[in-house]
């Protein structure tokens, strides 16, 4: 019975000596980055890379409307193209090649627009203390098995010696396993100041119906240097919301990173008047931030239709907004099943809520719906514009609403 027990322990210990990649699954997970480029809304999915040198699998997930165009994708000296087909949404795969671990940049080109997306390749490797633990337990298992064999052959001295070495190896491994992870502390930045945002529009006075560029230059509030440490936040580096003052125009875009600290997007406004630009982003170790600016679009005035409020809520209290989409085939977009963006009438407040269920899907699986639930609160009484967004069949649906908030 004792022999069987020792054998069982030995097998378990030797099995435990094999490194398990499950401990580092987050280090090689897929990366999703939304991009609004050349009139197309894309999600760039950089797939996990198990080894370097090796292949880098990149997928473009295209949403309607899809234009007929070629998208160039490159990393270092490895490059390729993806041909988007008109009205054919979905996944477009490409295989590139990476040589080393560490920071890289994925260059995305479509028409005359270019975006440079930073990412890091990490191939999991066990820490030194893990190797000591695995080796110690493995040696302990071997020594105990050898001691058992020696004992069975009546070599008592040898069995005791081997057993003693096995016990010592086990004690060392157990001690290192308990103590070493507590000594490894991640050095983190203490935080960064808010970024200062400078909004420019090109041309400076765009006309309704003509394409123009909205650009944000982000500077560090302490050094004045360009902000180049944007973190991935809800599958994008920056979320840009453009609305007209009257709330009749709305665009949720994902601008291109064209230079250090600079992001920009092209769009066309359908009406004249004052427009508000709100950019939402995160800096590494510094949390989220919302910056804003305003610009004017020239052209003939358009009459604003009267609209009834979809909901009435009190100010200052959390409320739940329920939206029924009529279908169970909703796909995740920006890692969420649904988005709710609200803005007060004068444009000084912008809120961004999400359906309470998040998703790890890359947006190709339809598992959500039909109901969407958003928990939000409104800071003060007044009229609020709201836009609910969700995706079905790779089509982004935007449903506008009006909300009355009472005191």
Output the pLDDT for position 22.
26
65: tokens are 């409307």
**339 half-sphere exposure, CB direction, 13 A CA radius:** 21
Query: In terms of pLDDT, which residue wins out, 5 or 305?
Result: 305
Output the pLDDT for position 396.
97
Helix, coil or strand: residue 50: coil
pLDDT value at 111 more than 50: yes
pLDDT value at 351 more than 60: yes
pLDDT value at 236 more than 80: yes
Output the pLDDT for position 128.
56
Q: How far apart are the C-alpha atoms of 57 and 77, rounded to whole Å?
A: 15
Q: Is 369 left (phi over 0), alpha (psi -120 to 50) or beta?
A: left
Q: How far apart are the C-alpha atoms of 256 and 46, rounded to whole Å?
A: 17
Q: Which of 310, 335, 332, 327 is nearest to 399 (CA)?
A: 310
Q: How far is CA 85 from CA 64, 159, 363, in A?
A: 11, 73, 19
Q: Which of 29, 45, 51 is nearest to 93 (CA)?
A: 45
Q: How far apart are the C-alpha atoms of 277 and 292, rounded to whole Å?
A: 5
208: tokens are 């309704």
Output the pLDDT for position 360.
78
Output the pLDDT for position 407.
93
Q: How far apart are the C-alpha atoms of 362 and 364, rounded to whole Å?
A: 6
What confidence tier does 5 reach under pLDDT thresholds 50, 70, 90? very low
- State the average pLDDT for the chain: 85
* DSSP letter string, 136-167: HHHHHHHHHHHHHHHHHTT-HHHHHHHHHHHH
Q: Which of 118, 117, 109, 119 is nearest to 40 (CA)?
A: 109
Output the pLDDT for position 148.
72
Q: Which of 86, 87, 39, 93 is nearest to 61 (CA)?
A: 93
Q: Which of 196, 198, 200, 199 is nearest to 224 (CA)?
A: 196
Output the pLDDT for position 8.
42
- Residue given tokens 């920071």 in the structure block: 103
Q: What angle do CA 353, 326, 391 make, to 5 degrees?
A: 50
Bridge-based pairing of strands 238-244 and 250-253 is: antiparallel
> Quick count: other Cβ atoms within 10 Å of Cβ 125?
12
What confidence tier does 17 reach under pLDDT thresholds 50, 70, 90? very low
251: tokens are 């665009």
Q: How far apart are the C-alpha atoms of 198 and 188, rounded to whole Å?
A: 28
* DSSP letter string, 74-99: EETTEEEEEEE-TT--EEEEEEEEE-
34: tokens are 């939304």
Summarised one tens digit per residue, pLDDT across range 159-218 is 567 666 666 756 665 665 566 555 554 444 556 788 999 999 999 999 999 999 999 999
Task: Return the exposure string of 253-292: e unless at least 16 CB atoms fall within 10 Å of the residue's CB, then b.
Answer: bbbbbeeebbbbbbbebebbbebbbbbbbbbeebeebbbb
Q: Which H helix or E strand runs over 218?
A: strand 211-220
Summarised one tens digit per residue, pLDDT across range 128-149 is 545 555 665 666 666 666 667 6
Output the pLDDT for position 9.
37
* DSSP letter string, 323-351: EE-S-S-EEPBTTBS-EEEEEETTSS-EE
User: Which runs of consecutive H residues, i.e. helices, occur in 17-126?
Assistant: none
Output the pLDDT for position 7.
39
């Amino acid at each position: 019975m004792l022999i069987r027990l020792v054998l069982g322990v030995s097998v378990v210990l030797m099995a435990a000596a094999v490194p398990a990649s499950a401990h580092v699954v987050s280090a090689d997970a897929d990366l999703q980055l939304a991009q609004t480029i050349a009139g197309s809304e894309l999600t760039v999915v950089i797939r996990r890379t198990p080894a370097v040198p090796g292949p880098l699998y990149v997928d473009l997930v295209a949403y309607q409307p899809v234009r007929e165009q070629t998208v160039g994708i490159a990393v270092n000296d490895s490059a390729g193209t993806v041909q988007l087909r008109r009205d054919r949404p979905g996944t477009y795969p490409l295989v590139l090649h990476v040589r080393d671990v560490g920071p890289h940049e994925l260059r995305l080109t479509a028409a005359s627009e270019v975006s440079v997306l930073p990412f890091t390749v990490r191939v999991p490797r066990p820490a030194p203390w893990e190797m000591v633990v695995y080796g110690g337990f493995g040696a302990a298992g071997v020594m105990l098995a050898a001691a058992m064999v020696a004992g069975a052959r009546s070599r008592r001295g040898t069995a005791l010696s081997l057993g003693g070495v096995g016990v010592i190896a086990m004690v060392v491994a157990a001690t290192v396993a308990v103590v070493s992870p507590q000594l490894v502390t991640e050095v983190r930045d203490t935080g960064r100041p808010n970024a200062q945002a400078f909004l420019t529009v090109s041309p400076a006075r765009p006309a309704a119906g003509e394409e123009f560029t909205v650009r944000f230059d982000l500077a560090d509030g302490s050094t004045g240097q360009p902000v180049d440490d944007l973190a991935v936040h809800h599958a994008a580096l920056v979320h840009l919301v453009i609305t007209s003052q009257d709330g009749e125009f709305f665009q949720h875009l994902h601008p291109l990173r064209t230079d250090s600290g600079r992001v920009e997007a092209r769009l066309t406004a359908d009406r004249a008047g004052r427009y508000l630009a709100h950019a939402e982003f995160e800096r590494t170790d510094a949390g989220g931030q919302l910056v804003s600016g305003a610009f004017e679009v020239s052209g003939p005035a358009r009459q604003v239709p009267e609209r009834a409020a979809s909901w009435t809520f009190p100010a200052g209290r959390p409320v739940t907004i329920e939206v029924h989409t009529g279908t169970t085939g909703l796909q995740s977009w920006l890692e969420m099943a649904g988005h709710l963006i609200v803005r007060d009438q004068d444009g000084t407040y912008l809120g961004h809520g999400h359906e309470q269920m998040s998703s790890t899907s890359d947006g190709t699986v339809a598992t959500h719906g039909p109901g969407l639930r958003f928990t939000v609160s409104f800071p003060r009484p007044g009229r609020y514009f709201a836009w609910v967004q969700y995706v079905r069949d790779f089509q982004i649906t935007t449903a506008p609403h009006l909300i009355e908030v009472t005191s």
